[in-house]
Amino acid sequence: MVQLHPAFQIFWSGSLIDLLPGEVVYDLGCGDARFLIEAYKINGAIAIGIEISHIVFLLAKLNVWLNRSKVFLHRANFNKFDFSNADVIFCYLVTDQMKILEKRFRQLKNGCKILSRRFEIPGWEPLRHVVIKRPFGSESIFIYEV
């Protein structure tokens, strides 16, 4: 089973976002899907991951299966994927990618939360900026609301 990264744990503690059962969570570039697995297990979210890499996508599928989670995975380019029904979007994307997605983020429904690990959305003021202290540095989480 995949261990949840400490930076992710804070999301589901109830202190950063109030994710309700049945809300739709997307992870853009979901990697091994651990963030989505936790969103489903802890909060009963409709968890949807988008990953373009074949190998990483297969790893995500395996992790979802091993964790017996109901996570929906798409092997696709998130720049071309419709995620307009999101209640929460999580991303760990570099600044250039955030700049490309900025226009699409503005078109999301009111109240949608965007959680970004390490990278800000250029030109946006975060609702909250949380710094997680770790033994060898710190981790920034930026929370935005449309």
Q: What is the pLDDT of residue 45?
A: 87
Q: What is the pLDDT of residue 16?
A: 64
Q: What is the pLDDT of residue 1?
A: 47
pTM: 0.88
Q: What's the rounded Cα separation, in Å, for the pair 27 and 29?
A: 6
Q: What is the DSSP string of 75-86?
A: ES-GGGS--TT-
Q: What is the pLDDT of residue 42?
A: 79
Q: What is the pLDDT of residue 9?
A: 54
Q: What is the pLDDT of residue 7?
A: 47
Per-residue pLDDT of the chain (146 residues; tens, 9 = 90+): 445 555 455 554 555 677 788 999 999 999 999 989 988 887 788 999 999 999 999 999 999 999 999 999 999 999 999 999 999 999 999 999 999 999 999 999 999 999 998 899 999 999 988 887 777 888 888 999 99
Cα dist from 33 to 99, 119, 127, whole Å: 23, 19, 25
Write down all domains in the chain, each with its CATH number in brackets. 22-145 (3.40.50.150)
Please compute, for residue 134, the number of CA atoms within 13 A of its CA located in the half-sphere on the CB side: 14
